[in-house]
Amino acid sequence: MPFRELVNQDHAVLLLRTAVRSDRVSHAYLFVGPRGVGRHNAAIAFAQLLNCERADGDACGQCRTCTLIASGQHPDVRVVDVAQGRLLDPEDTTKTGIGIKQVLALRREVVYPPYQSRWKVYVLVDADAMTNEAANSLLKVLEEPTVVSRCQLVRFSLIPSPAIERALVERYGVPKGRARFVAALAGGELGRAVRWVTSEETQQRREQMLDLLERLEQADPLERLDAAEEFAQDKDNLPELLEIALFWYRDLLVWQQTGDEEQLINLDRRDRIAALATALSLALLNARIQAVEDAKDALEMNVHPRLLLETLFLRITPPTEPIPGRRT
Ligand SMILES: [Zn+2]
Bridge partners for 80 per DSSP: 124
Q: Separation of 45 CA from ligand 1 center, angstroms? A: 10
* pLDDT single digits (tens) 10-35: 999 999 999 999 999 998 999 999 98
Residues pairing with 154 in the sheet = 31
pLDDT score at 146: 66
Ligand 1 centroid–CA 6 distance in Å is: 16
Ligand 1 midpoint to CA 155 (Å): 25
Q: Is 73 left (phi over 0), alpha (psi -120 to 50) or beta?
A: alpha
pLDDT, position 324: 40
Contact (CB, 8 A) for 16 and 167: no
Q: How far is the CA of 77 from the centre of ligand 1 (A)?
A: 14
- Whose CA is closest to 29, among 159, 189, 156? 156
Where does residue 6 rank: exposed (0-12), middle (13-18), buried (19+ CB within 10 A)?
buried
The pLDDT, as a whole number, for residue 326 is: 35
Q: How much is the pLDDT for 122? A: 96
**Cβ neighbour number for residue 224 with a 10 Å cutoff:** 21
205-214 residue pLDDT tens: 889 999 999 9
Cβ atoms < 10 Å from Cβ of 259: 10
3-state SS of the chain is CCHHHCCCCHHHHHHHHHHHHCCCCCCCEEEECCCCCCHHHHHHHHHHHHHCCCCCCCCCCCCHHHHHHHCCCCCCEEEEEHHHCECCCCCCCCCCCCCHHHHHHHHHHHCCCCCCCCCCEEEECCHHHCCHHHHHHHHHHHCCCCHHHHCEEEECCCCCHHHHHHHHHHHHCCCHHHHHHHHHHCCCCHHHHHHHHHCHHHHHHHHHHHHHHHHHCCCCHHHHHHHHHHHHCCHHHHHHHHHHHHHHHHHHHHHHHHCCHHHCCCHHHHHHHHHHHHHCCHHHHHHHHHHHHHHHHHHHCCCCHHHHHHHHHHHCCCCCCCCCCCCC
Predicted TM-score (pTM) of this structure = 0.73
Cα(17) to ligand 1 centroid in Å equals: 15
- Which pLDDT value is given to residue 94? 82
53 C-alpha to ligand 1 centroid (Å)? 5
132: nearest Cα among 146, 122, 118, 144: 146
Q: How far apart are CA 142 and CA 156, in angstroms?
A: 23
Query: What distance in angstroms lies between residue 52's CA and the mean position of ligand 1's atoms?
Result: 4
CA of 309 relative to ligand 1 center, distance in Å: 53
pLDDT at 323: 38
* Separation of alpha carbons 299 and 309, rounded Å: 10
- Ligand 1 centre and the CA of 272: distance in Å? 49
Instruction: Note the pLDDT of residue 302.
Output: 92
Burial of 235 (0-12, 13-18, 19+ CB in 10 A): middle
Distance from Cα 65 to the centre of ligand 1, integer Å = 6
pLDDT in tens for each of the 328 residues of the chain? 899 999 999 999 999 999 999 999 998 999 999 989 999 999 999 999 999 999 999 999 999 999 999 999 999 999 999 988 899 998 888 888 899 999 999 999 988 999 999 999 999 999 988 988 998 888 888 876 566 667 899 999 999 999 999 999 999 898 887 888 889 888 899 998 998 888 888 888 889 999 999 999 989 999 999 999 999 998 888 998 998 999 999 999 999 999 988 888 888 899 999 999 998 999 999 999 999 999 999 999 999 999 999 999 999 987 764 434 433 3
- Among candidates 181, 162, 201, which has minimal Cα distance to 264? 181
Distance 43 CA to ligand 1 centre (A): 15
Distance from residue 78's CA to the centre of ligand 1 (Å) = 17
pLDDT digits (tens, 9 = 90+) for 89-134: 988 888 888 999 999 999 999 889 999 999 999 999 999 889 889 9
- Ligand 1 centre to CA of 4 (Å) is 13
